Chains A and B, each alone.
Chain A
């Protein structure tokens, strides 16, 4: 491993499991420049940010007049979506909150969501995925040995949000995606969240349960919602000074939010996926990406990031308990799971996948910027 190992001069991104990283003559990696560019073009802070938010809120309110809700937000119990909920209410908007239950919720996440909707008085819609179908999809992905197992959940969330928004006449989706803590993500670590063809082809090969209720979003449907129903996504967190530590403290005191120790650790499955499967099978430590963003945004120093990375990604006792739970949920033995972990990694492109929309329909090329805004090539 030691040969050709390089780490970015300013951040903790490195060459491990990242064939796309590049370094300039100063030893600074491409992610730094991409972050700065995104910050320049997408992020507005201070008074400029607040003004932008006020203007957006005015537009949303106007468009949503006479309807029960003027915007829709996703709630996972995590920091980003919790803060979004607070901002949205602070702006005087009338959101419908959507929680997506894939059968892996932790009690912490449920408690956090409960506190948010009660304290902020927000209506909640929950989409509960049929566990038998979802389990079959997850197992298919495990057997396919592809990296982005979370694509299934992310895809379904998008599908549900779009359908619900269209159903209720809501034109604005307020998203929690943000540059300041999640701009950086190596391409090889994820796959397109909106690609239903990839999910279906992987499932066709390895699945056994018929998918009767799983929410899919195919390109045609997406285009319909975007263009005809006119649904827009707004990343409000790009218009605030998004200092993670300060935000955590804020929502802790305002909304009795409880921390679970890691990004997206509100889901037992995600915890296990990021804490065990990714590092062990794919040699990917997602913390590097998140911490590097915090370095780029000057929220932490490289030393602090290195100290964080030196800590175990997963508390051993927690990992053991989670592992037993995962085996129970999947109905697998340790041996069966070990066999799956031993399968060499495959690329998502080994299976059928959706071709980029403007390649299939060149007429939509001008809309590609909107497409990229709605479906940025990074995970949540």
Chain B
């Protein structure tokens, strides 16, 4: 049996951690250094840190802060948010991260993924996509924290990401974000069956059952934010992490 990876996703903004619902209503969750320390002690499989407003606000990367954060983790770490150049990626990796997450930048600089993959390997590049349904129920890929319509469909963009050099793809459902209502399994299924690289499901997981369903829908790994940060839906902040998921 292969252990499927379970990955907490933490949203960073100006030095603090936040959690959103449908990419809106960000609530303060706490100090990233202590939070990562706790997840490390819980021996999580992997951790993703996203500076989720960086591209939208045109901000640079807080290298000092992410270096401190990486120092608390003895498991694989991925960072995304505002990576624009190869130098940015190099600095992020030198800070102690194994992987970089590229999202909005790939729409304007598609060759960036390959530049990084050529040096650090494809497994060091995660292509991330945020997906929303339109009024007719059709999926569309959005960039810049869900504010810019790109015109791509998830399947087309996933294939492009894999071609561009992404070793993994994380598919995030904006509609399901922070809702505790389960992954968008249809979306996960579509994307996983379209590409040969591992797909990470994200957005909406509200229980361990949901995580299992994400794997059954074809994801190679499952990610969640609210599930690991709040004690229960509607309840207070309390970091938790389930023991290994075997499917």
Q: Give the size of the chain B interface in residues (CB under 8 angstroms).
A: 22
Q: A110 contacts the other chain (Cβ, under 8 Å)?
A: yes
Residues of A within 8 A of B239 (CB): 105, 107, 110
Cα of A44 to Cα of B236 in the assembled complex, Å: 34
Q: Assuming the A-B contacts A103-B31, A105-B34, A128-B29, are A110 and B71 also in contact, with contact meaning beta carbons closer than 8 angstroms in the complex? A: no
Q: A311 contacts the other chain (Cβ, under 8 Å)?
A: no
Q: Which residues of chain A (90-108) have a CB below 8 Å from chain B?
A: 98-99, 101, 103-107
B37-45, B85-93, B103-111, B183-191 - the one binding chain A: B37-45
**In the bound complex, do residue A128 and residue B28 qualify as a contact, i.e. CB atoms below 8 Å apart?**
yes
Cα of A61 to Cα of B22 in the assembled complex, Å: 39
Chain B, residues 67-79, CB within 8 Å of chain A (1/0): the string is 0100100000000
Cα of A347 to Cα of B41 in the assembled complex, Å: 38
**In the bound complex, do residue A126 and residue B33 qualify as a contact, i.e. CB atoms below 8 Å apart?**
no
Cα of A297 to Cα of B108 in the assembled complex, Å: 72
Cα of A325 to Cα of B240 in the assembled complex, Å: 21
Q: B193 contacts the other chain (Cβ, under 8 Å)?
A: no
Cα of A105 to Cα of B240 in the assembled complex, Å: 13
Cα of A98 to Cα of B238 in the assembled complex, Å: 11
**In the bound complex, do residue B231 and residue A131 qualify as a contact, i.e. CB atoms below 8 Å apart?**
no
Name B30's closest neighbour in chain A (CB-CB).
A128
Cα of A132 to Cα of B37 in the assembled complex, Å: 18
Q: A117 contacts the other chain (Cβ, under 8 Å)?
A: yes
Cα of A117 to Cα of B68 in the assembled complex, Å: 32
Q: A328 contacts the other chain (Cβ, under 8 Å)?
A: yes
Cα of A127 to Cα of B71 in the assembled complex, Å: 26
Q: B95 contacts the other chain (Cβ, under 8 Å)?
A: no
**In the bound complex, do residue B238 and residue A107 qualify as a contact, i.e. CB atoms below 8 Å apart?**
no
Q: Assuming the A-B contacts A99-B236, A124-B231, A328-B71, are A110 and B33 also in contact, with contact meaning beta carbons closer than 8 angstroms in the complex? A: no
Cα of A132 to Cα of B15 in the assembled complex, Å: 9
Partner among B16, B41, B42, B235 whose Cβ is within 8 Å of the Cβ of A131: B16
**In the bound complex, do residue A117 and residue B34 qualify as a contact, i.e. CB atoms below 8 Å apart?**
no
Partner among B15, B38, B68, B71 whose Cβ is within 8 Å of the Cβ of A107: B38
Chain B, residues 40-66, CB within 8 Å of chain A (1/0): the string is 011000000000000000000000000
The distance from the CB of A315 to the nearest CB of chain B, in whole angstroms, is 16
**In the bound complex, do residue B37 and residue A126 qualify as a contact, i.e. CB atoms below 8 Å apart?**
no
Cα of A130 to Cα of B240 in the assembled complex, Å: 20
The distance from the CB of A106 to the nearest CB of chain B, in whole angstroms, is 8
Q: A303 contacts the other chain (Cβ, under 8 Å)?
A: no
Interface of B toward A, CB cutoff 8 Å:
15-16, 28-31, 33-34, 37-38, 41-42, 68, 71, 231-232, 235-240
* CB pairs A–B below 8 angstroms (9 shown): A99-B236, A106-B38, A106-B41, A117-B238, A126-B238, A131-B30, A131-B31, A325-B37, A329-B33
A-B pairs, top 9 by smallest CB distance, nearest first, are A126-B236, A107-B41, A131-B31, A103-B31, A126-B237, A124-B236, A125-B236, A107-B38, A124-B231
